[in-house]
Amino acid sequence: MKKTLFMAAFALLGTAAFAQSGSGFGIKAGLSYNKNGDLIGTVGDAAQNIVEGAEGKTGFHFGFWGKLDFPKIYIRPEAVYTRTKSTYSLDGESNDYDVSKLDVPVLLGYKLVGPLHIFAGPAFQYTLSNDLGDLEIADVENDFTVGLNAGVGVNLGKVGVDVRYERGFSENEAEFIGNNITDISGRVDSRPSQVIFAVSLKL
């Protein structure tokens, strides 16, 4: 009986893995826990910089993916709209830093066993907009940057679930100044560091 149950479970896993195997394309969406780099600023005439680390918050993404499948590996490019949010405390005020960007990860995956697989690859990023609460902020220094994605996933039928870590390779700062009431100026690093949870569907 135990042997029969084991064989049935193994067959079910094999069927699930096969259902999303093969080349194809689909859609994806998910949530992330993210924070950006340090904020470096001055308040009033202070000569010493104030360095504030980001408090992470929840972001989201949605987009499309394609897949070229081989016996043990696969190549999976994606095109994803991403919205991240971090919070900085400066001069007693809390300011949310919102960044919208277009991510294009190009992932190389390796199939471990059954539906389980791992992947990694570069993520080409284009910043669409950034906003820092009540502070006036300029565009980021570089619209185009490169980051790294790495993670693990499971395929269940036409549905895939994965968790990945994303990190920007280099600083990409934006300068800001305060409003007429508060004399604040400085720069903030828009580079993301985030853990991403995603669900994908093969069409």
Residue ranges in the chain assigned as alpha helix (H): 2-19
In CATH, the architecture of 2-202 is: Beta Barrel (2.40)
- 136, pLDDT greater than 50: yes
pLDDT at res. 180? 56
Distance in Å from the first CA to the final CA of the chain: 37
Q: pLDDT by residue (tens digit) across 88-110? A: 877 677 888 899 999 999 999 99
Report the alpha-carbon distance of residue 86 to residue 35 in Å, rounded: 5
Q: For the whole model, what pTM was predicted? A: 0.80
What tokens does 132 get? 């820092």
pLDDT of residue 179: 64
pLDDT band at 21 (very low <50, low <70, confident <90, very high): low
Domain-wise residue ranges, the chain: 2-202
Q: How many CB atoms lie within 10 A of CB 198?
A: 22
Where does the chain show beta strands of DSSP type E?
A: 24-36, 39-43, 50-52, 55-69, 73-90, 93-113, 116-132, 136-137, 144-156, 159-168, 173-177, 184-189, 192-202
Return the higher-pLDDT residue of 119 and 16.
119
CA atoms within 13 Å, Cβ hemisphere of 127: 24
Point out which residues pair with 58 in neighbouring strands: 33
Query: Span 127-142, mean pLDDT?
Result: 85
